[in-house]
Amino acid sequence: MLARLHLVRQFELSIISCGDAGMELGASIITLLKSLGKEMHKSLGINSGRIDPDLDKVFKKYVSIDPDTGGFAHDLTSATAIAGSSYETLNKSIGGILPSKNGILMITVGGGGTGIASAMVVLKILREIYQQTPPVFLLLPEVFENSRVHYNVSQFLYHTVYSNNPIGNPVIVIDNKATEGEYKEPFDVVAKRRMEIIPKAIANLLYSAFTKPRYEEYNAEFRDFSEVIHTSGIGVLVAKDLENDQGELNLRFDDILFDSITEITSLPREKIAEARKVFISILNVDMQQFQFTVEAKKIKALFKDTSPYLIFADSEEEESKRPTLNAIVTGLPLPPRVIQIMKIARESRKDMIFKEMEGLEVVSNLDTERVATLEEEIENSYLKYS
Ligand SMILES: Nc1nc2c(ncn2[C@@H]2O[C@H](COP(=O)(O)OP(=O)(O)OP(=O)(O)O)[C@@H](O)[C@H]2O)c(=O)[nH]1
Ligand SMILES: [Mg+2]
């Protein structure tokens, strides 16, 4: 195989983080990248309430859509009305943080009222004024969380991905749902762990995309990463340690990757193989050439319509150089996990949803009948895949 020339570009990333969870994720990504020697110069935090001094140090710009409220208790109706009135303020701040043509812009958000409402305004501004539809990293709620959060996330996914005329941003979902190994742990422990693992995975992926590969044959880079995260539809973020607590390595990359995506999406293997784009970074693995070649080939053979971009690299972390596999897989068939969230939202909030929709500016152009049949439609379209 002919190795192409690997160009290590200048690192240029802008991030817009909405709501408490979105800002926490964004702040950790920025801080981690800085510790890896990749400084970000353009970032915007959006929240309600006054700025948290610790976060203020991290974000270059901050907008509060309502300084007098500490949050909207996940209420999308009130948050949407207020976020909409911040259109001009947000527009000014967004104009100042956009990256150049070669840079990457990304958005982070959780399912709260402030986060989802302001993210919807941000996406509107980016599309209307700047003709951009950057990727959104969306934190999905655990199944027993407040139904409002499920409703917010459903609304967001509907408008960005599933409606007849979607805004069109790729949505890369990251999940609060406990994995098999986590079911016995309390939710706050799992939730806290997510806030550590997710930013770390995103930082690692970005770091890899902008760094020199260890092997020239597996030399995924910035433009591949950019292509993958800009592929429309639903994507997932994979974050796996390859070493267990006893220091044993698991090098079955294909199983690790597929099991992890199955856990997040509930999609079966053959459906995951239909993903349109895949970027995989394997960091800090020290192994014989023939082994990684075999493993890499296995991964490449597993995806039907795409050949994954793959990079083996070393991080510049000072303390622990843990072997890790991180990936972003985009353009997936409709994940059952998304249907589950829409179902929870609909079952518990059907009446509320219709009442709320009457007052919602952002969704006022929604066809209510269509929303009512959305779940059924989605299930039917899912049948194709099951
Ligand atoms: N894993 C994890 N998830 C969190 C955490 N905080 C919030 N979330 C997720 O984000 C959702 C709530 O979003 P927030 O970001 O707190 O809400 P907000 O955007 O500030 O909006 P308000 O409702 O107005 O406060 C929760 O239902 C969780 O799913 C956290 O510390 N860890
Ligand atoms: Mg909040």
Q: Supply the pLDDT for residue 304.
A: 83
The answer, yes or no, to whether any atom of ligand 1 lies below 6 A from the CB of 26, is no
List the helix and strand counts (H, then E) for the chain: 13, 10
For residue 80, give both structure tokens: 């949407």
Written in H, E and C, the secondary structure of 10-46 is CCCEEEEEEHHHHHHHHHHHHHHHHHCCCCCCEEEEE
The answer, yes or no, to whether any atom of ligand 1 lies below 6 A from the CB of 240, is no
Q: What is the mean pLDDT of the chain?
A: 87
For residue 347, give both structure tokens: 């079952």
The CA 73 to ligand 1 mean position distance, Å, reads 10
| Better-predicted residue by pLDDT, 32 or 365 | 32
* CA–CA gap between residue 371 and residue 384 (Å, rounded): 21
Helix, strand or coil, per DSSP, at residue 366: coil
The answer, yes or no, to whether any atom of ligand 1 lies below 6 A from the CB of 66, is no
The CA 171 to ligand 2 mean position distance, Å, reads 21
Q: What is the pLDDT of residues 104-118, one digit of tens each?
A: 999 999 999 999 999
Q: Supply the pLDDT for residue 367.
A: 61
Residue 171 has pLDDT above 80, yes or no: yes
pLDDT, mean of residues 297-308: 89
Q: What is the pLDDT of residues 230-277, one digit of tens each?
A: 999 999 999 999 988 888 888 899 999 999 999 999 999 999 999 999
Q: Supply the pLDDT for residue 164.
A: 85
The CA 179 to ligand 1 mean position distance, Å, reads 19
Residue 2 has pLDDT above 50, yes or no: no
Residue having the nearest C-alpha atom to atom 32 of ligand 1: 191
Residue 172 has pLDDT above 80, yes or no: yes
DSSP secondary structure code for residue 141 in this structure: P
Integer-rounded Cα radius of gyration of the chain = 20
Q: Supply the pLDDT for residue 179.
A: 85
What is each CA distance from 187 to 144, 177, 193, 304, in whole angstroms?
Answer: 10, 9, 10, 36
Residue 190 has pLDDT above 80, yes or no: yes
Helix, strand or coil, per DSSP, at residue 330: strand
Q: What is the pLDDT of residues 125-135, one digit of tens each?
A: 999 999 999 99
Q: What is the pLDDT of residues 205-227, one digit of tens each?
A: 999 998 889 888 899 999 999 99
For residue 118, give both structure tokens: 């302001």
The CA 111 to ligand 1 mean position distance, Å, reads 6
> If we measure between CA atoms, which residue out of 157, 75, 167 comes closest to residue 109?
157
Q: Supply the pLDDT for residue 384.
A: 47
Helix, strand or coil, per DSSP, at residue 185: coil
CB atoms within 10 A of CB 334: 20
Q: What is the pLDDT of residues 38-97, one digit of tens each?
A: 887 899 999 999 878 888 789 999 999 999 988 999 999 899 999 999 999 999 999 999
Residue 357 has pLDDT above 80, yes or no: no
Q: What band does 327 get if pLDDT is binned at 50, 70 and 90? A: very high
For residue 366, give both structure tokens: 């929604």
